[in-house]
Amino acid sequence: MPGGIAFEFPQLFFTAFWVTIQLSIFGLLSALIIGTVVAVMRVSPVAPLRWIGAAYVEFFRNTPLVVQLFFLFLGLPLIGFRFSTDTFEHIFRGAAIGMGLYHGAYVAEVVRGGLLGVDRGQIEAARSLGLSYPQMLRYVQLPQTFRSVIPPLGNIGIALVKNTSLASTIGVTELLFAAEIVESRTFRAQEAFMAAALLYLSLTIPLGIAVNTLERRMLVAR
């Protein structure tokens, strides 16, 4: 049976699988928070905020995630920030933050598109009814973007699950790392990587189907 090796080393494979899932969830949560904040900055009426937001998005989208992870893991401790090294918990936290920073830039672009898609008349109406700018964002502009933004956010989520594999380069024992450990112990590369691949597919394929179904349903609704 392909991937049967996972049951010979359940401790390694399934613990690592759980780490991958946790890293995806924490990474996605921080990406959503960072992305929403940056998106709001990018459409704000204050010009310097818009510039900072744009610089953030362009920088994090146009540099490789591994470089960012290495910087969190090796660079920051040298300039005095020690939250992402030394213990496993710390490295995991650093990796989750790295995922959030990188994918947050993509989330920001999607949410910004949603925010700009809201009819200008609605914003003007809310402002003339006496809502402050933050109130208008909170009650009028942001709630309307959530619907249109979900399918593209799902696509970013799929990319994030795949990208958690890069955390193995800084020593987080997630799925790919587990496969490499098993491979170096048993020399059964074919089976070990097949098991890891199947476990990754068990996360990404259902997510992909869910995103496609949502997309189609929203097309019909429109």
Binding track over 145-184 against other proteins, x by CB under 8 A = ------xx--xx-xxx-xxxxx-xx------x--xx--x-
23 contacts other proteins (rule: CB under 8 A): no
Binding segment toward other proteins, per CB under 8 A, in 21-29, 40-48, 62-70, 86-94 = 62-70
Q: Closer to other proteins at the Cβ: 1 or 121?
A: 1
Cβ atoms 186, 42 nearer than 8 A = no
78 contacts other proteins (rule: CB under 8 A): yes
The per-residue b/e assignment along 28-58, b for 16 or more CB within 10 angstroms, e otherwise, is bebbbebbbbbbbbbbeeeeeeeeebeebbe
**Closest residue by Cα to residue 176 from 69, 10, 2, 17:** 17
**Closest residue by Cα to residue 118 from 192, 201, 39, 190:** 39
Identify each DSSP E strand in the chain by its residue range: none
| Binder of other proteins out of 21, 22, 37, 71 (CB under 8 A) | 71
In the complex, what is the shortest distance from the CB of residue 135 to other proteins, in angstroms, rounded to a whole number? Answer: 31
Angle at 115 between CA 109 and CA 117, to 5 degrees: 105
In the complex, what is the shortest distance from the CB of residue 58 to other proteins, in angstroms, rounded to a whole number? Answer: 6
**Footprint of other proteins (CB under 8 A):** 58-59, 61-68, 70-71, 74-75, 78-79, 102-103, 106, 110, 151-152, 155-156, 158-160, 162-166, 168-169, 176, 179-180, 183, 189-190, 193, 196-197, 200-201, 204-205, 208, 215
